[in-house]
Amino acid sequence: MESARLIFLLLLHRSCSALDVLAPGTHNALIGSTTLVPCSFTVDSPPVDTKYLAIVWKYGEKELVRYDKEKSASPRMSINEKEAKQGNASLTINNVSIADQGNYKCLITYSPMKGMKEIQVDIQATPEVTLMKKALSKRDKNRLLCLITNFYPKDISVTWLRNGQTLEGSELGPFQKDADGTYRVNSSLIISPTQSQDHPIITCQVDHVSLPELIQDTRTMEYGVEPEITLFSSHDGDKEIVVCELKGFYPDTSKITWLLEGKKTESLRRNADGTYNDGDHFLILGNQKRPKNISCVVEHETLYSPFIRTLTLTDLAILQDSLATMSDQIMIICGNSFDRRQMSNLISRMMSTIERMPKSFPPTCITRTSGGPSLLAYLCTS
């Protein structure tokens, strides 16, 4: 009888003990970090008696972690059992990813009472900012470019400054998503030659929800020299070698892209020893069907937009073959007693052909000397 009365009093005490569950409504976590999603509880009569305690964490309706007689955990998520006995039910998440974003439930049972709090976990990634352009052109307008990478969520604000003063007219986008779910985007701004004078200090400034304060990349601009671009073709046996030559440019950063019939190709070659001179780039075409048009697209910091030079290879090949044929005819004529009128007509035809060659073709020269009984002709091609 006495034992039954004791049990009754114990149950009465348990039913009168208050349970309070405490947790914030939102929690922010950085990608790749280890974060602690807060949740705690208090009872009227500490210490906590673990016989009556159960802690369950859920993501939506999916159970993640359980602490009671049937303890469970996931590889990246856990509860500290020692802390749980002190009223700390916080959830540890290792190697946070964007997939961890969402609504979490912290459910506490202290028999016979129950309590629950919902926490919205927002995942963030802090951006990295890089001001791409190092050199300006004094003669032309300049396009400034700022690369912002590795940020989440998508919303971001970019401000441009010149010598500390805000510059208007920048453009943002398009946004690109990386494999880990973070974003990258370019911000561009066009400045006039007047704004480019006197080595301006240019700043790309970024604001994002993940940042405690603004971040920026700043550069004192230098001046560059635009490249001189020459595009020409020559034969090496059955191969067509197209050369895009850059000269006299500064700084030494440049990029060349080849287009065959307007489509980008990766068949870029340099010299046989792996080097190149003065920015020369080679494209070697073998026995495959050759395109009619081949273009060299040049990017350099001083160029407002990429510069494109194009050769029409079919027409060029015809002219080259024509010159080669006439050269053979000259050699035949020179090897025999030749007719002055025949030689003169042939040279005139060659000069007419040369005038039709693209300006970018290697210099072709014919030197004529008159006087005396002979007319001497030289065909020079490089």
Q: What is the pLDDT of residues 10-45, one digit of tens each?
A: 444 444 458 999 999 999 999 999 999 999 999 988
Residues 286 and 302 grouped into a single domain = yes
Residues 258 and 240 grouped into a single domain = yes
Q: Are strands 183-191 and 176-177 parallel, antiparallel or unpaired?
A: antiparallel
Residues 114 and 203 grouped into a single domain = no
Residues 139 and 198 grouped into a single domain = yes
Could you tell me if residue 14 is left (phi over 0), alpha (psi between -120 and 50 degrees) or otherwise beta? alpha
Nearest-5° Cα angle at 298, 297 to 303: 130
- What type of residue sits at position 214? L
Residues 11 and 119 grouped into a single domain = yes
Residues 138 and 217 grouped into a single domain = yes
- What type of residue sits at position 205? Q
Q: 195: which residues sit within 8 A by CB, 6+ positions away?
A: 162, 167
Residue 365: in which H helix or E strand, if any? Answer: strand 365-366
Place 276 in a pLDDT band, splitting at 50, 70 and 90: very low
- Cα 108 from Cα 99, distance rounded (Å): 25
For position 117, what pLDDT does the model report?
Answer: 97
Out of 314, 337, 364, a domain closes at: 314
Cross-strand bridge partners of residue 245? 230
- Cα 157 from Cα 206, distance rounded (Å): 6
User: Of the spans 6-20, 77-91, 219-233, which averages the highest pLDDT?
Assistant: 77-91
Model pTM above 0.75 = no
Residues 192 and 235 grouped into a single domain = no
Out of 181, 197, 223, a domain closes at: 223
Cβ–Cβ contacts within 10 Å for residue 87, how many?
20
Place 354 in a pLDDT band, splitting at 50, 70 and 90: low
258 alpha-carbon distance from chain centroid: 20
Residues 358 and 277 grouped into a single domain = no
- Summarised one tens digit per residue, pLDDT across range 201-217 is 999 999 999 999 999 99
- Cα 298 from Cα 328, distance rounded (Å): 38
Mean pLDDT of the 149-171 span:
95
Cross-strand bridge partners of residue 258? 265, 296
Out of 223, 249, 282, a domain closes at: 223
Residue reference for tokens 């075409």: 285
Residues 111 and 38 grouped into a single domain = yes
SS3 (DSSP) at 6:
helix
Domain that holds residue 266: 228-314
For position 322, what pLDDT does the model report?
Answer: 53
- Give the Å distances, CA to CA, from 313 to 13, 58, 264, 295: 96, 67, 17, 10
Longest dimension (CA), the chain: 148
Give a three-class secondary structure readout of 218-245: EEECEECECCEEEEEEEEECCEEEEEEE
Residues 152 and 163 grouped into a single domain = yes
Cross-strand bridge partners of residue 57? 65, 106
- Summarised one tens digit per residue, pLDDT across range 130-158 is 998 778 887 788 889 999 999 999 999 99
> CATH code at 190?
2.60.40.10
Radius of gyration of the chain (CA): 38
- What type of residue sits at position 41? F
Average pLDDT, the chain: 78
Domain count of the chain?
Answer: 4
Of 2-6, 324-328, 370-374, least confident by mean pLDDT is: 370-374
Residues 22 and 115 grouped into a single domain = yes
Percent of residues, the chain, with pLDDT higher than 70: 69
Q: 157: which residues sit within 8 A by CB, 6+ positions away?
A: 206, 207, 208
Residue reference for tokens 């052109």: 137
Residues 217 and 324 grouped into a single domain = no
